[in-house]
Structure 1
Amino acid sequence: MTDRTVLSKLLRALPKAELHLHIEGTLEPELIFQLAQRNGIALSYPSVEALRAAYAFTDLQSFLDVYYAGASVLIHAQDFEDMAYAYFERAAADGIVHAELFFDPQTHTERGVAMVTVIEGLTRAGARAQQELGISSALILCFLRHLSEDAAFETLEQALPYRQHFIGVGLDSSERGHPPEKFARVFARCRELGLHLVAHAGEEGPPAYIETALDLLKVERIDHGVRCTDSPALVQRLAREQIPLTVCPLSNVKLCVFPQMSEHNLPALLAAGLKVTLNSDDPAYFGGYLLRNYEACFEAFPQWGRAEAIQLARNSLEASFAAPEQKAGWLQHLEAVAAGA
């Protein structure tokens, strides 16, 4: 076997965690049409092919327009379960042992879908995935930053009766014009409740958004964070404090954050000692699930090899919010796979 073939096998075999995955962004066009038919919903696209053709995004907002249209087919708990379980099946094939799923309740409650419907369906899928596929998972409730902080507070109150089913909160949707400080009070409340805190920052927004997310929102991980290289001082801080960055390579290229994968700043981030993890973001829309993101990076960065593959997988496991004993088991498995490669 060639060195690249050996590396490809290693990428699949390494136990990995996925920490930046919007579950609504795993809705493949085929399932969108299937659920639309099941729920009697008329789509504005005549076919699966026409819907896929709409996936030519020029920026984050052009993607969000299609994303919210796709989510409109999710009505019943079974719809959410079917969507999430389809993701878990792909995750198992990619070597994922743990996934922390973002979900956007406001996308659904604004359409009249009850909070309990969303959480019940996703929770059922997670339980099935643990039992049938051996994948550990957790839910992170995300606030839509283009909506108000008052709306975020309302969403939090709606979700608190189901607090045992989610481990943290995040901040997603349109970054431009919606700085982290807009949500300072609701994040303070979530911190009081003992929830884990993460936030999208530094994808399209400036390095200052990353700093504010850390200093004001007190987040434990930065989702995306690739704009940090515009501030050398911030890069040094992220490396020093080992703040995990949940980077989404194919997403970054698809949304024109970088013109092509070979121009992505991932090698610079890793070389600077940052705790970088690879993730798929909204894989149904961005051209690939987690393993494909790994493969695309190693194809684009010929200087990367076995050491980088092991480091990235280790970073993902260590940066997860799983229990220490779970992490220890996965890391032991990782070392065994690495030793046998």
Structure 2
Amino acid sequence: MESMTNTAATLPDFVQSLPKVELHLHIEGTLEPEMLLTLARRNGVHIPYRTIDAARAAYQFADLQSFLQVYYLGGSVLRKERDFYELTQAYLARCKVQRIRHAELFFDPQTHLANGVALEAVIGGIHAALRDAERDWDISSALILCFERDRDPEPAVALLERACRLGGIVGIGLDSAELGHPPGRFQEVFAVAGSLGLHRVAHAGEEGPPAYIWQALDVLGVERIDHGVRCLEDPVLVHRLVDDRVPLTVCPFSNVALKVFDQLSTHNLARLLKAGLWVTINSDDPAYFGGYLNENMIDTLSCLNLTARDALILERNAVTAAFCSDQRKQSLLKELDEYGASPQNGL
């Protein structure tokens, strides 16, 4: 059989069955319009959409700030532990279908606390769904608490300490509106997280400049950069990222929806790979940006004339960058190797 080529017939089939890892996924960003309306009715929360079509039409954005306005409105319908369980379980059911074998989920507790929701309900609901998916579907996972960078950083340490007492989180992140909110403002809480042995990641270099990536690395001490696509503007930074093997959790559909790139065909993912950067593909907020992990991979690889071999490289990168045990990584890498070596895949 000839080597797998990048054709409409073969690449989607290859990606659909490829064992995958997702490292950049906001669980609140998986709130599909149907669930949005269901939870709004169930919890008596007023939203300005009366139909699924109206809600879906609102999922169109000019930039990150306009997206966040709709995103936080969606988050307001999540009020009870049951809601967080159902939201997370629905995403994990998609993981099962899309052959996502390990998923790392961000959540935004500050949004829910501001809506009067107990932290115990948020973490309890999400974590119960993660446990069930591991038991029933052998999908491993990790939960990362994100701080919203456009909020006051002062209460962050107390919130982190509360979350750690409840258990269930493996790390912290930094998200929300990037421009005008440099990572360095959150130095204290990231230092505390490091002292507690938690993993640290941060959104940087999507809308914000390369300087934000430098800050995330040198001030916050992060292990991964979420997005990071603007790093190519700074050759010295690229060398740093390559030399230190810092993973980038790139989200192509998100970048296009938020106008970082005009269209997928102009995305710089292929150039990131060519530069030797440790790149992964992820779906970010898939309900809002038009596709989950498989769709992001298939469309991006196709538009950039990348191949099934590139898909394997991206997934090996993701497994190696994951916050899971060495034993789990070896198991996932074995699955990838066996899949790539299968004669039916023609690699």
Query: What is the CA–CA distance in structure 1 between the aligned matches of 2:14 and 2:243, rounded to whole Å?
Result: 29
Displacement after TM superposition at 1:125 (Å): 0.5
Displacement after TM superposition at 1:6 (Å): 2.5
Instruction: Check whether the contact 2:62–2:259 (CA below 8 A) recurs between aligned residues.
Output: yes
Query: What is the CA–CA distance in structure 1 between the aligned matches of 2:130 and 2:275, rounded to whole Å?
Result: 35
Instruction: Check whether the contact 2:40–2:77 (CA below 8 A) recurs between aligned residues.
Output: yes
Query: What is the CA–CA distance in structure 2 between the aligned matches of 1:8 and 1:279, rounded to whole Å?
Result: 16
In the alignment, what sits opposite 2:280? 277
Query: What is the CA–CA distance in structure 2 between the aligned matches of 1:178 and 1:216, rounded to whole Å?
Result: 14
In the alignment, what sits opposite 1:88? 92
In the alignment, what sits opposite 1:315? 317
Using the size of structure 1 for normalisation, the TM-score is 0.97
Structure 2 residue 107 is matched with structure 1 residue 103: yes
Query: What is the CA–CA distance in structure 2 between the aligned matches of 1:60 and 1:91, rounded to whole Å?
Result: 26
What is the one-letter code of the residue matched to 1:140? I
Structure 2 residue 239 is matched with structure 1 residue 239: no
Query: What is the CA–CA distance in structure 2 between the aligned matches of 1:8 and 1:286, rounded to whole Å?
Result: 19
Of the candidates 179, 183, 189, which is equivalent to residue 182 of structure 2? 179
Query: What is the CA–CA distance in structure 2 between the aligned matches of 1:251 and 1:112, rounded to whole Å?
Result: 29
Give 5+ residue unaligned stretches, structure 2.
none
Secondary structure in structure 1 of the residue aligned to 2:150:
coil
Secondary structure in structure 1 of the residue aligned to 2:323:
coil
Instruction: Check whether the contact 1:144–1:152 (CA below 8 A) recurs between aligned residues.
Output: no
In the alignment, what sits opposite 2:200? 197
In the alignment, what sits opposite 1:326? 328
Superposed, which structure 2 residues align to 1:1-341 within 5 Å?
Answer: 3=5, 4=7, 5-163=9-167, 165-302=168-305, 304-340=306-342, 341=345
Instruction: Check whether the contact 2:39–2:77 (CA below 8 A) recurs between aligned residues.
Output: yes
Instruction: List per-residue Cα deviations over 1:111-168 (Å, max 9, x = no partner).
Output: 11010000000011001111222211110000010001113223213212113x0000
Give 5+ residue unaligned stretches, structure 1.
none
Displacement after TM superposition at 1:327 (Å): 0.3
What is the one-letter code of the residue matched to 1:221? R
Instruction: List per-residue Cα deviations over 1:254-303 (Å, max 9, x = no partner).
Output: 0000000010110000011111000000000000000000011122012x
Query: What is the CA–CA distance in structure 2 between the aligned matches of 1:90 and 1:329, rounded to whole Å?
Result: 21
Query: What is the CA–CA distance in structure 1 between the aligned matches of 2:317 and 2:17, rounded to whole Å?
Result: 16
What is the one-letter code of the residue matched to 2:39? L
* RMSD between superposed Cα atoms in Å: 1.2
Using the size of structure 2 for normalisation, the TM-score is 0.96
Query: What is the CA–CA distance in structure 1 between the aligned matches of 2:328 and 2:163, rounded to whole Å?
Result: 27
Instruction: Check whether the contact 2:205–2:229 (CA below 8 A) recurs between aligned residues.
Output: yes
Instruction: List per-residue Cα deviations over 1:14-61 (Å, max 9, x = no partner).
Output: 211100000000000000111111112221112111111111200000
Secondary structure in structure 2 of the residue aligned to 1:199:
strand
Displacement after TM superposition at 1:337 (Å): 0.3
Secondary structure in structure 1 of the residue aligned to 2:10:
helix
Q: Which ranges of 4 or more aligned residues in structure 1 deviate by more than 4 Å?
A: none
Displacement after TM superposition at 1:233 (Å): 1.1
Instruction: Check whether the contact 2:26–2:107 (CA below 8 A) recurs between aligned residues.
Output: yes
Secondary structure in structure 1 of the residue aligned to 2:111:
helix
Instruction: Check whether the contact 2:149–2:174 (CA below 8 A) recurs between aligned residues.
Output: yes
Secondary structure in structure 2 of the residue aligned to 1:49:
helix
**Identical counterparts, % of pairs:** 53
State the number of aligned residues.
Answer: 339
